[in-house]
Amino acid sequence: MRPGIALISRRLCLLAGIGMACSWLPAQAATTERIVVNRFSGVAIEGFDPVAYFVDRAAVQGTAEFEANLWGAVWRFRNEGNRSSFLAHPEIYGPQYGGYDPVDVARGVAIAANPRFYVISAQRLYLFSREANRDAFAADPERFLYEVGKRWPALQEQLSQ
Per-residue pLDDT tens digits of the chain, which is 161 residues long = 555 554 444 544 444 443 433 333 333 333 347 899 998 999 999 999 999 999 999 999 999 999 999 999 999 999 999 999 999 999 999 999 999 999 999 999 999 999 999 999 999 999 999 999 999 999 999 999 999 999 999 998 888 65
**Residue 134 included in any domain:** yes
Domain housing 119: 95-161
Please tell me whether the overall predicted TM-score, pTM, comes out greater than 0.85 for this model: no
**Residue 3 included in any domain:** no
Angle, in degrees to the nearest 10, between helices 131-139 and 141-159: 130
Q: How many domains are there within the chain?
A: 1
Q: d(Cα 98, Cα 126) in Å, to the nearest integer?
A: 9
**Residue 113 included in any domain:** yes
**Residue 49 included in any domain:** no
Residue 4 has a pLDDT of: 52
Residue 36 has a pLDDT of: 92
**Residue 72 included in any domain:** no
Q: d(Cα 35, Cα 50) in Å, to the nearest integer?
A: 13
Give the chain's radius of gyration (CA, Å).
20
**Residue 4 included in any domain:** no
Residue ranges of alpha helices (H) inside the chain are 3-21, 52-55, 80-88, 90-93, 102-106, 131-139, 141-159
Residue 60 has a pLDDT of: 98
**Residue 9 included in any domain:** no
**Residue 133 included in any domain:** yes
